[in-house]
Amino acid sequence: MILRNNFSPLILLLFIFACGSEFEQETIHPEQTPIDALMNNVFEAHGELGNYSFDFRDNSYTFSYNNANEYTYSKTVITDSTLTVDVLTNDLFERSTNGVPQALDQLESDKYSESLNSVIYFTCSPLNLSDPAVNIVLKPDVTIKAQGYDVIEVRFDAEGGGTDHDDVFYYWFNKETHIMDYMAYSYNVNGGGVRFRSAYNSRMVAGMRFQD
């Protein structure tokens, strides 16, 4: 017995065209881009931002994230009998000495706040790459020491990107673990320069990954 279809050539042509249009739309407008897929894996591998404290170069730091857009950073320095505390939030920077608020001019405020922000930024990388001012470009894969890596380039919007918004960062994520093994950046302050960092001592602490 021979099975026959009853599609006319016109109906068949319309069916093929409709399928082709649907496929094209899905290709041009995917629900999740390759960058989204990669960064979702990276964020999952590195945990979540929360409330933490740590010591670095004889200073004590804390950072607290209420949500993706609200934060509080602090730095505590003890020198002889002097206790200096810097606090940076979304809205302001404050410095106190032995509990007494200090009057700072704009240059001093910018200097101290940028120093505090820089330490916390590197501590929280790459989890802070979800900030709206961040622009990510996927670069070609590379192999380092026989291990494959996904590579991204990061630039920042002038609005919301901070005073160092013209810095450029590169991140190398292990293809198997999605953990950041390497990071590099270029900067323009203090004469400018380029830095390359290799992460080690990677460990999870209460839901967030820390790396030296």
Kindly report the three-state secondary structure assignment for every residue of 22-58.
HHHHHHHCCCCCHHHHHHHHHHHHHECCCEEEEEECC
In b/e form, how buried is each residue of 78-113, taking b as 16+ CB within 10 angstroms? eeeeeebbbbbeeeebbbeeeeeeeeeeeeebeebb
Specify the pTM: 0.77
Residue 11 lies in a domain: no
Tell whether the model's pLDDT for residue 1 goes beyond 50. no
Per the structure, the count of domains in the chain is: 1
Residue 22 lies in a domain: no
**Residue ranges making up the domain that contains 177:** 37-210
CA distances from 130 to 17, 28, 136, 145, 157 (A): 39, 23, 10, 29, 13
Cα dihedral across residues 96, 97, 101, 106: positive or negative: negative
Residue 26 lies in a domain: no
Residue 19 lies in a domain: no
Residue 21 lies in a domain: no
Residue 186 lies in a domain: yes
Residue 139 lies in a domain: yes
What's the whole-number average pLDDT of the chain?
84
* pLDDT bracket for residue 191 (50, 70, 90): confident
CATH at residue 157: 2.50.20
Q: Between the ranges 34-43, 130-139, 165-174, where is the mean pLDDT highest?
A: 34-43
pLDDT digits (tens, 9 = 90+) for 51-106: 999 999 889 999 998 765 689 999 999 998 899 999 999 889 999 999 999 999 99
Tell whether the model's pLDDT for residue 163 goes beyond 50. yes
Residue 114 lies in a domain: yes
